[in-house]
Structure 1
């Protein structure tokens, strides 16, 4: 059909630019940008935690991916200034729909199980429990089910709070392979609870080059207070991914990949391209941990700029075995990061259910164990809602005999699953 205007037709009046000019298209956020925001969130949170834990002298671990996913799901049911606060912390420049779409892509791409092919066992589950006296908003239920693949259950909080607490704790235990038990106490869920949002993440990976248990020997680990403890150190004579910088070193310990035991075989079509690794950031100074964490959190590009890219021959490698089990005071840390309205009586959680939310409680617990075989880790997050050519140098050492920072990352997407610090590996949990 011709689009030429008839000669007898008068020209149309000009459109006022201020009202009718086409809006400039907003560029969609990429997955890599979203993951970068997730990592920035994780490192800022780690810095806040370090400031508090430095006074306690305790080991600490948490799952930034788990906590980020919980808050992202909550954002899908939040409006107004409370939503603005959440998005500013989670992913500046994104909308709640952006966050839901990208969070789903991260989960689908990063957290698929690879154990059947010899790779890491990975699982992630979301859940929504809503009191039978009310209904979820249709839009929220759709996002929870489609984007977050959440199990949605109607329950009776008003007369069976203890029973529902047991059911949810059983769900958490099952989702984390029994590593997280009795996470929610009877006081957290009560007759006033109306909605519970939660997720659980589990990871179990074997090292690409396992440590020989016969080489594990006790040695001194130096504490921040000047004392030392005797703990078992693992060692491995193989080449290692390690980089040295002015005042710290970084070690990369890859986990065995699916269908690729030697770790150096070229990719073949259909292979799982993910690569999970643990990174250990070891300050040169025995008391340099907090300063190092400050550096990591102050510059969003610091982490990627300082990851080792090649294998080197080490003179000595010593890594302590450790096990950490702990909880995170999530409300306190989130408030320090700028999330306040979520915890107010009218926190903007108006799009979750057809009843107002009067009170919000967030729980996060995690577990991690590192030994000669590899790593096993789990975490759960819950929200309860009420009403050149030179002379050769000696090979470098990597001796983690004083406090250090660590993280577990999927390297192709750069998504961080777990993060924490070790102050005293002699403390079993």
Structure 2
């Protein structure tokens, strides 16, 4: 959330960021690091040791991202990947962590002499793990620089249906307010259901929209944190980033009667070069990290 706040300060566009992806990729980097690089990564990730990071990664891989039923429940899957240049080799302890803890795919490629082939293999893996949503994420010229020796990748795939579907006939256009103080006229999904799990707090509201699931599966929901003020997003993000346990303390649990509920239909895509942001936040290790989310 600290990284999310930092990125938002320098953007007026939509920002899509997965904290879990950042956690797992940097956790993998930390597992193979030492000295000052490891110290900086542990400080940024607020962890005491790589054992702590590996324990969290194991929990996420084995218990949180446990698939789902294509027929009756949300599909939630996770994949990690590591590729190294043929001039290097995996140390046994690192191979064990990659295999046993992160359940990651890994391979040895020729980055220097077969850069296009290496990029194609990484992109093919990403495409497969995201059911075709991501294509050609890694540029072919990414490996032209002789300093590129290792590539880490994380892919999260989610697909779900609302527990209470929105009727397409009730879709209407309304103004949606942007961060640059302008607005756009866009379609809003409109619900006629009168009761939702929603709570109002000082300066913002939180809405829970559950996804359809089978009786033997865990509940998965989307939560909307909506500031009362049109320009209140940055203030809300400050609270999210600075107050420990903020999300957990503001999850609604009681069904309340609401008036008309409108949610904009949205499709968001965002990419950024994380190295600069991480350096500004105290991670100065010599590595380049790219993140793209859709």
TM bucket, shorter chain: over 0.9
1:213 aligns with 2:171: no
Residue matched to 1:148:
102
Residue matched to 2:20:
65
Maintained 8 Å contact 1:162/1:190:
no
1:310 aligns with 2:254: yes
Query: How far apart are 1:191 and its partner, in Å?
Result: 6.2
CA distance in 2, matches of 1:252, 1:119: 17
Greater than 6 Å deviation, 4+ residue runs? none
Which one of 126, 149, 153 corresponds to residue 194 of structure 1? 149
- Higher helix fraction (1 or 2): 2
Maintained 8 Å contact 1:161/1:191:
no
CA distance in 1, matches of 2:103, 2:124: 19
Runs (5+) with no aligned partner, structure 1: 1-42, 261-270, 344-359, 368-429
Residue matched to 2:245:
301
CA distance in 2, matches of 1:117, 1:102: 30
Runs (5+) with no aligned partner, structure 2: none
State the structure with bigger RCO (CA 8 A, min sep 6), 1 or 2. 1
Pairing of 1:8-407 with structure 2 (within 5 A): 43-53=1-11, 57-92=12-47, 94-116=48-70, 118-190=72-144, 192=146, 193-238=148-193, 239-257=195-213, 259-260=214-215, 271-272=216-217, 274-340=218-284, 342-343=285-286, 360-367=287-294
Larger radius of gyration: 1
CA distance in 2, matches of 1:247, 1:102: 33
CA distance in 1, matches of 2:82, 2:204: 43
CA distance in 2, matches of 1:58, 1:307: 26
Maintained 8 Å contact 1:252/1:279:
yes
Query: How far apart are 1:134 and its partner, in Å?
Result: 2.5
Query: How far apart are 1:117 and its partner, in Å?
Result: 5.4
For normalisation by structure 2, the TM-score amounts to: 0.94
CA distance in 2, matches of 1:224, 1:196: 34
Query: How far apart are 1:325 and its partner, in Å?
Result: 0.7
Cα RMSD for the two superposed structures: 1.5
CA distance in 2, matches of 1:325, 1:99: 28
